[in-house]
Structure 1
């Protein structure tokens, strides 16, 4: 039975860019006919001038293209250098029939993936180690298991959302920082950011999106 696995990678790919942005969300990874590898990703918030300076200097990026420009986020395509492509773990995932469902970079890289078996997961983890990319397992469950209780929220997502709401994180202007809430919950900023984002997505899917128009 397929598994859903959530894990964190300390990958050097787009590291400088992630520092300049609030969050990177990878939409697609593909290989060109020349053998080069490209990433298509959204950069959210942050100073876009700083993000593009980072794209110029990031060791993993050979060249980039701005694909779409919006008020709070931009879509980029980045061709990886040979050094960056060598550290990409997607080939190892593909070799083990692992499908990446969600990739978010907020310092470290948060991944949600569908994995055919525990043996495949262990083989992928070993491939990460061979590339000197630290792998940290966060959560593993069967695909058929419900992800959470009311509105599809997991206990950790609900805890994070309530803590952020009570602290004034969603107020305008904000009355709390991500770091202060993460410290209170004794987790990293990256883990909190991922929980908030996934929790909000589950709320929308099970409320706004889930309501069929009459």
Structure 2
């Protein structure tokens, strides 16, 4: 059964953390990432206060092919990064152990991740992998996303929850619609594209961790047995 783990590692201990080097007080929030593979393109937001030095550091890094500013909104900029994921031991471990990256937030010294693994055994395998690769890994909360009484947010991050709840309360899903994505963006002080991505990821994660997984378990439990 799948588990979700909250992990913390030093920014200097993996390639992407070294690429996205920040000044003191800066913060990066991962908004989306294409499926991990030969090309992993993260989309992340950075505040204007650290933008200039951040862009310079990233553009000069040997693992980076290019960085593109996608949007800007009220002191925050959304970037996409084309980089060589094969050089990142930490992300290669996620790929090998079939983990799914749900969220990531980085500061000057530390990155925090929320990753879903297929089983407790694969999570243990990832911990062993990081130990062998000399990647300092601190494991926080670990929970089963569909077990009653645990994992109350079902893998949906705080930012995604806030966006989805405001969308529901504001009438984004009402007929007729009473709120647009731009209204949500203005309310949350983020870009329109960031709102769209948060809503998409929140609904996808919530559905996968509840309806789909529960349906699969019920199907297995009530599958008719073959008579000999």
**Stretch moving more, 91-100 or 38-47:** 38-47
| Counterpart residue number, 2:43 | 40
Measured in 1, the distance between the counterparts of 2:104 and 2:20 equals 15
| Counterpart residue number, 2:101 | 100
| Counterpart residue number, 1:57 | 60
8 Å Cα contact 1:87-1:131 kept in structure 2 = no
Structure 2 CA distance for partners of 1:73 and 1:88, relative to 1, 3 Å = farther
The structure number with the bigger radius of gyration is 2
Structure 2 CA distance for partners of 1:138 and 1:59, relative to 1, 3 Å = farther
Structure 2 CA distance for partners of 1:37 and 1:212, relative to 1, 3 Å = closer
Given the two structures, how large is their TM-score scaled by the length of structure 2? Answer: 0.57
1:112 shift after superposition: 0.8
Structure 2 unaligned segments of length 5 or more: list them: 175-228
Measured in 2, the distance between the counterparts of 1:146 and 1:112 equals 15
8 Å Cα contact 1:68-1:76 kept in structure 2 = yes
Q: Secondary structure at the match of 2:74?
A: coil
Per-residue CA deviations over 1:160-181 (Å, capped at 9, x if unaligned) read xxxxxxxxxxxxxxxxxxxxxx
1:8 shift after superposition: 0.9
| Counterpart residue number, 1:28 | 33
Structure 2 CA distance for partners of 1:61 and 1:88, relative to 1, 3 Å = farther
Q: CA RMSD, aligned part only?
A: 3.0
Q: What is the number of equivalent residue pairs in this alignment?
A: 161
Measured in 2, the distance between the counterparts of 1:75 and 1:204 equals 17
1:210 shift after superposition: 4.1
Given the two structures, how large is their TM-score scaled by the length of structure 1? Answer: 0.60
Structure 2 CA distance for partners of 1:71 and 1:134, relative to 1, 3 Å = same
Per-residue CA deviations over 1:24-43 (Å, capped at 9, x if unaligned) read 122214578xx555433222
